[in-house]
Structure 1
């Protein structure tokens, strides 16, 4: 199968470029669009395939305090009602005492595209992402490709990436998620108690507020028997008072054997 190549353009400031010159002897990332196949319900499954140079990594949707969040702009696409990014389970990295969440070596990022009607899809976007090795650099991937409506054969590489997505709460046998909040300076402290079997090894959590104006500190996570406990602080980015909507909280548990995607919690 012939894949559509994506031109990768670095957006590097002059000062960073001077410092990074030895590390950038070769491109830190190679990218291609896997055109995928049309699903029985009319949606189209494609994927962005990134191959990272040795030592380089890129970031998950919630990249941690040391990461750069990815940004997608799908304007310019045609026959495209929506694009859903389906993230495979990421890994946790530590550097200089700071945590980041993302991928190294390779990332196959599935894209589920809902067309506006019948026929081919033109997928056109710019993806802003961060790449890190000794330093971190902003990078742009530009996509302009036609996805034919006649292809029905699944791509095994995309199927494998879909299979590596975090488990749902029911798949991971999550019984209950309890959240307690209390005042903490200019924000609130959050303690989530998750009744679930272990996900393998030392478990980490990522907490997303679901409210864009809220900043979430890196959580601290430990086990108390069959309960995973994770604690963090939340603050409004403008220092304003706020109400926390617990139903919009998203907690991802990252373990050595699998990850778990949890939506909302009880009081």
Structure 2
């Protein structure tokens, strides 16, 4: 497991310096902002559409073993209080013995936008750093400068469809219980997560997010017996030293053939 950590850190640290060199690959990815609509509470629901050339993919918020995590910088925007990104359920890719998590072909990320002044347009002015991958993986910087008028009040069907692809919450999926146990290992921790949850269909996968980008999580061992799913992960800190895990801050995404489930926290 130790051999994977330098590659993981290199992907994180190389993102910004390499982005300026990514222009030769810009024709492999196209992006646009979908205007969306203004919701009853004054917030805007817009969409970031990412279209990839055949054979290319980009990464989910937790990119897996060999991916590059996306980074969003909205600091140049006007009349913007905050942006919450709604992530459709991702795909799992296996390539050269490594697992990555993301999207191929086309994806729309619904953007839940809170303006500082209700009823006024919002200017989205910022940068998005993403990784795209085919036979090679490269970082690409996307620059945005779009004014959202918020004139429409009816949902955009494309954005609404992307919202419908979000993972279910635990309660929506019938989760009864989530329990975690941790044990020290020679170079980190072993995390065992048990979910009392109906099957999500087919061969199930699981992803854990610890909230700390310096903690690496292995591809889990998955087993199911009836209504109980067990996922076992190896965790290691990039420093190689000891670290702590807050069970309440763990976030699990269970990916099945029929649907995905977002589980927030687990009991000890």
CA drift of 1:47 comes to: 0.5
- CA deviation profile, 1:16-57 (whole Å, cap 9, x unmatched): 96xxxxxx6x81112111011111001110011111111111
Distance 1:149 1:161 in 2: 19
Residue equivalent to 2:66: 66
Distance 1:264 1:58 in 2: 27
* Shift in CA distance, 198/32, structure 1 to aligned 2, threshold 3 Å: same
Question: For the Cα contact (< 8 Å) 1:211–1:248, is it kept in 2?
Answer: no
What SS does the corresponding residue of 2:163 show, helix, strand or coil?
helix
Distance 2:151 2:20 in 1: 40
Distance 1:34 1:57 in 2: 21
Distance 1:196 1:124 in 2: 42
Q: Does 1:130 align with 2:126?
A: no
Distance 2:211 2:21 in 1: 32
Q: TM-score, normalised by structure 2?
A: 0.89
- CA deviation profile, 1:144-166 (whole Å, cap 9, x unmatched): 01001332121000000001100
Distance 1:204 1:111 in 2: 26
CA drift of 1:12 comes to: 6.6
CA drift of 1:141 comes to: 1.1
Residue equivalent to 1:244: 245
Residue equivalent to 1:156: 157
Distance 1:96 1:241 in 2: 30
Distance 2:232 2:145 in 1: 42
- CA deviation profile, 1:179-208 (whole Å, cap 9, x unmatched): 111111132110001111111110000001
What SS does the corresponding residue of 1:62 show, helix, strand or coil?
strand
Question: For the Cα contact (< 8 Å) 1:12–1:137, is it kept in 2?
Answer: no
Distance 1:258 1:75 in 2: 35
- Taking the TM superposition and a 5 Å limit, the aligned residue runs for 1:176-195 are 176-195=177-196
Residue equivalent to 2:88: 88
- Taking the TM superposition and a 5 Å limit, the aligned residue runs for 1:101-250 are 101-118=101-118, 119-250=120-251
- Taking the TM superposition and a 5 Å limit, the aligned residue runs for 1:39-58 are 39-58=39-58
What SS does the corresponding residue of 1:60 show, helix, strand or coil?
strand
Distance 2:97 2:150 in 1: 48
CA drift of 1:76 comes to: 0.3
Residue equivalent to 2:13: none
CA drift of 1:237 comes to: 2.1
Question: For the Cα contact (< 8 Å) 2:35–2:150, is it kept in 1?
Answer: no
What SS does the corresponding residue of 1:69 show, helix, strand or coil?
coil
CA drift of 1:225 comes to: 2.5
Question: For the Cα contact (< 8 Å) 2:180–2:266, is it kept in 1?
Answer: yes
Question: For the Cα contact (< 8 Å) 2:20–2:141, is it kept in 1?
Answer: no
Structure 2: gaps spanning 5 or more residues: 1-17
Q: How many residues align?
A: 250
What SS does the corresponding residue of 1:159 show, helix, strand or coil?
helix
Distance 1:250 1:59 in 2: 18
Question: For the Cα contact (< 8 Å) 2:36–2:150, is it kept in 1?
Answer: no
Q: TM-score, normalised by structure 1?
A: 0.89
CA drift of 1:215 comes to: 2.4
